[in-house]
Structure 1
Amino acid sequence: MDQSTRQAWMSLLAKAPAEQLKALWAATGLAPDHTTLRAPEVGGVMLRGRMGGTGAPFNLGEMTVTRCSLKLADGAVGHAYVQGRDKDKARIAALIDALMQTDAAMTLRAAVLVPLEVAMAEAKRTRAAKAAATKVDFFTMVRGED
């Protein structure tokens, strides 16, 4: 497993709607033995921004996050940082992260990650279509007085 692959599924889990993630997780029926390394806890992080993506960094504001770390019986360690105060979502995301490092990875990818990717891509297309419907094209007419 390479770092970019793990980053991709952790990003997907962090951005996923909580109710959808919980429903997909419940449907798997998995209940792995694990030890909690860091119980889900709520905190804040400072968001930084840059003008135009290249300017000097500035503090944009704070965001509430929940983090969780756990260790499976086989030694795999899972971590999660999710937006908001949903401790269950953080725990489930950490469990999935840990299980994705085991033999259960293919099963979880098909049962949880792929459906999340499809649903989130569809939601993005829907938002883009709504925004496109409100687009205004401005044009200049030549009056012929020149």
Structure 2
Amino acid sequence: MTQNAPHPDPERRHWMAVLARAEAEAITALLAPLPALPPHERLRPPETGLVMVRGRAGGDGAPFNLGEMTVTRCAVRLGDAVGHAYVAGRDKRQAELAALVDAALQDPARRDVFMDGVIGPLAARQQAARDAEARRAAATRVDFLTMQTTR
């Protein structure tokens, strides 16, 4: 993104991040009880490729190339909205579903249904997984100050 480019909608950034981390089966299961979407047009069919992952030493140092990562991208048109998705890995179905849900969420008439029916549950599951991982990591934490005083 260039410095003059507009900042993306924070709500859309949130749902795109949730969709990028969700598995295709989870998205499919949450879409099943919702009203069916009209047929969509594939603008860019799901395709897999590589992107260079960059890092920074210490978080703010000079950038360096960390390595390559496999991603799958897709773009679809649903009515007037164009949905995009980039997902880690090779799951073409996940990329297409994420792009389709992105397009559906851009329609104000559908947004609340899809936010409540798809994004909300996925975000809650992902947060629960992060919390569980944090609890597992906290259980292995060593308090070095306590170890010093027990010698």
The answer to whether 1:113 aligns with 2:119 is yes
Counterpart-to-counterpart distance in 1, 2:23 and 2:97: 12
Matched residue, 1:122: 128
Identity %: 50
Give the aligned length.
Answer: 141
- Greater C-alpha radius of gyration: 1
Pick from 19, 33, 55 the counterpart of residue 27 of structure 1: 33
Counterpart-to-counterpart distance in 2, 1:18 and 1:35: 19
Amino acid in the other structure paired with 2:56: R
Counterpart-to-counterpart distance in 1, 2:47 and 2:34: 25
Q: CA deviation at 1:7?
A: 1.1
Contact 1:47 1:63 in 2 (8 A): yes
Counterpart-to-counterpart distance in 2, 1:39 and 1:142: 62
The answer to whether 1:104 aligns with 2:114 is no
Counterpart-to-counterpart distance in 2, 1:136 and 1:9: 36
Amino acid in the other structure paired with 1:141: T
Root mean square deviation, CA, Å: 1.6
Amino acid in the other structure paired with 1:94: A
Pick from 133, 142, 149 the counterpart of residue 141 of structure 1: 149
Q: 1:88-111 deviations in whole A, cap 9, x for unaligned?
A: 110100000000011111100111
Contact 1:25 1:92 in 2 (8 A): no
TM-score, length-scaled by structure 1: 0.90
**Structure 1 counterpart SS, 2:144:** coil
Counterpart-to-counterpart distance in 1, 2:144 and 2:128: 29
Matched residue, 2:88: 83
Pick from 16, 34, 37 the counterpart of residue 10 of structure 1: 16
TM-score, length-scaled by structure 2: 0.87
**Structure 2 counterpart SS, 1:105:** helix
Unaligned runs of 5+ in 1: none
**Structure 2 counterpart SS, 1:111:** helix
Counterpart-to-counterpart distance in 1, 2:118 and 2:54: 31
